[in-house]
Amino acid sequence: MNAREFLKQLHYEIESHPAVNHPFLCRISRIPFTREDYKVFGLQHYALVGNFTAYLEHLLITAPDSDAKQWLAKVLVDEYGEGSDGKDHAELYREFLAATGARPGEEIETELRENVSTFVAEHFRIVKEEPFLVGLGAVGPGHEWSIPKMFPRIVRGLRTAGFAEKEIEYFVLHHGLWLEEALARYADDVDAQRMIRRGALLSLDARARFWSGVQDGSSGGVNRVIRICERRTAEVSTITRSRSR
């Protein structure tokens, strides 16, 4: 298939992946959580946010040509704060943490759960040890294209908990719509497509483990909401199959 067809299919595969539709995301969008709950969540999630630019910086070094380096540099400039009043994404996230009641520096001192640290370690492994296109697949489609599906559920829960729009700016502004043109340039043969997809799935598998770790560390009502999510997913699948007949 050509590059555009491949990317369209990959978009669908990512949107359908269990990591992007994890029961924890259903839970957080439906059950009222307190600011203290979001503090616990946010202090773990910060590790993912704070390391993202480092993944891109490693890819910038291994990029195969000047064009690839240029558009990676543009993505990095955005991550460093262009378009968000000069605040980089980690700084925006620290403002959210402050709104949860976290004190300055607590995000650095907090001990990370195993599935959080392994998520970060896996992405560093990918961008350092795997071929460039595998790394690109991880931080592009796998890491960023999943956000438009996941974050709206988190935002819904944050608004229910009473956070002001300014306090959750990181989650609202983070659209994840980038690199498609660059991917279209490189996804021009079967081998390239295989590497990009491999990177995306490696990232998503790590993401699923991350959400499971957060879920296992939470309390109250998980199984009930999981059953609701699974039942509604099954209902949607039944309706879809009926319409296709």
Indicate if the alpha-carbon torsion angle 60, 48, 195, 187 is positive or negative: negative
How far apart CA 226 and CA 29 sit, in angstroms, is: 12
Residue the block writes with tokens 């099954």: 234
What is the tally of structural domains in the chain? 1
Smallest Cα–Cα separation from 30: which of 216, 178, 224, 244? 224
Q: What CATH number should be reported for the domain holding residue 231?
A: 1.20.910.10
Tokens for 73?
A: 């540099």
30-45 pLDDT, tens digit each: 888 889 999 999 999 9
What pLDDT tens digit does each residue of the chain (245 aa) get?
Answer: 888 889 989 999 999 999 999 998 988 888 888 899 999 999 999 999 889 889 999 999 998 888 888 888 888 877 776 555 657 888 889 999 999 999 999 999 988 889 999 999 999 999 999 999 999 999 989 988 888 889 999 999 999 999 999 999 999 875 555 577 778 888 889 999 999 999 999 999 999 999 988 777 554 433 333 343 444 444 434 443 444 44
pLDDT score, position 1 = 84
According to the 3-state scheme, what is the secondary structure of 59-98? HHHHCCCHHHHHHHHHHHHHHHCCCCCCCCHHHHHHHHHH
User: CA of 232: how far to CAs of 23, 109, 226, 229, 238, in Å?
Assistant: 12, 39, 10, 5, 10
pTM above 0.85, yes or no: no
83-101 pLDDT, tens digit each: 556 578 888 899 999 999 9
Smallest Cα–Cα separation from 130: which of 197, 217, 71? 197
Question: Which residues form the domain of 180?
Answer: 3-244
CB 153 within 8 A of CB 28: yes
Q: Work out the number of other CB atoms within 10 angstroms of the CB of residue 237.
A: 10
pLDDT score, position 22 = 93
pLDDT score, position 43 = 92
Smallest Cα–Cα separation from 150: which of 175, 113, 131? 175
